[in-house]
Amino acid sequence: MFVKRIDTLDYLRGFALVGIIFINILQMVPYVRIPPEYGFWSRLEQGILTFVYHAVYGRFYTIFSFLFGVGFYLFISRARERGDQANVLFVRRLLILLVFGFVHHQYQPGEALLMYAILGFLLLPLYRLKPGANLAAGMLFLASGCWIGPIGISLGMFVLGLWAGQSRIFEQVKRHKKRWIIAQAVSLVLIPFGLWAEREIVDATGLVDIAMVAGGLAEDVFYVTTLTILLEFPFMKLWLMPLNRLGRMALTNYIMQTVLILAMDAVLNLSGHAYYLILAMIAAEILVIQAICSTMWLHRFAMGPLEWLWRIGTYGKIPEHYRSKHN
């Protein structure tokens, strides 16, 4: 049985990858600042860094976490519809992700896959809860992030993603378009308050990572709602197709970003020598290369190479519903 993909989720995954690389390259490659005497270039770099810290840092990993929760719901639901042992398959899926995450963690200590694989087991008992209960649980876990850090925030976004899947908000966007627009407008109004809260948390606790995430939740909602609404217009789907291609190969592209950053650092001796402006340009170039390569790959294959391995490891074979190419 073939189940139609929800394209919006692929666009959102691709969008998250765009933001993540600009943070990862900053964390993986020590950079130097352009001296003030360079005038325009120094101000440009400062502007980019300010934008990254207030509009990107801590925002896109939370979107990725939210999408992981949505993906969990879809995986379990569709496996049950096929009559498969859904929980067993999801456990296998997490174990394969654990292997990917462990290997990736050796080269990128700030990566998310290892934590996703471990926390993912906690989603299984929550699947049977009502959407309202999961919405409340998700908010509670998010609030707990102020004390237990990124684990609470990631788990909260997982559960909110599960709630979103249960509520089918991405499958019925047109039907609930008014609600999407209201959520977009409210989140836009709340962004300044989020940035203020971010600064207050840093000043009071010094917990930068938690502050960035907590302060950026309104931005997360604004990003997701805005992109989802835009994708209701066919011409926007066409213009933003590179995001879709990046997102359909999210696992492959996420890990390959690390490979390419480390390779370019080794070849060009970037660490401690490159300006962040240069690193940002390299990140943009990597994204362009990945978008082109993903498009070419998906013209021939149904999914990315690591996605194939993930599914083979999950099912013990190439599952029938993944054998043919679906575009």
- pTM of the shown model: 0.92
Interval 83-90 mean pLDDT: 94
pLDDT at 7 over 90: yes
Q: What is the pLDDT of residue 122?
A: 95
Q: Write down the pLDDT at residue 151.
A: 86
Q: How far is it, in rounded angstroms, from Cα 31 to Cα 106?
A: 21
Q: Say if residues 219 and 55 touch (Cβ distance below 8 Å).
A: yes
The span from the CA of 327 to the CA of 316, in Å, is 24
Model pLDDT, residue 231: 96
Computed over every residue of the chain, the mean pLDDT equals 90
How many CB atoms sit inside 10 A of residue 207's CB? Answer: 15
pLDDT tens-place string over residues 102-148: 999 999 988 899 999 999 999 999 999 999 999 999 999 988 876 77
pLDDT at 21: 96
Q: Kindly list the distances between the CA atom of residue 280 and the CA atoms of 31, 202, 275, 286, in Å, as whole numbers in the listed order.
A: 11, 25, 9, 10
pLDDT, one tens digit per residue, over 161-174 is 999 999 999 988 88
Distance CA 268, CA 265 (A): 5
Residue 203 has pLDDT above 80, yes or no: no
Spatial separation of the C-alpha atoms in residues 124 and 255, rounded to whole Å: 26
> Can you tell me the distance from the alpha carbon of 301 to that of 309, in angstroms, rounded to the nearest whole number?
13
In tens, the pLDDT along 270-326 reads 999 999 999 999 999 999 999 999 999 999 998 999 999 999 999 987 655 455 554
How far the first Cα of the chain sits from its last, in Å, is 16
Contact criterion met (CB below 8 Å) for 301 and 325: yes
**Predicted local distance difference test score (pLDDT) of residue 2:** 47
| 213/152: higher pLDDT | 152
| Residue 83, burial from CB neighbour count under 10 angstroms (0-12, 13-18, 19+) | exposed
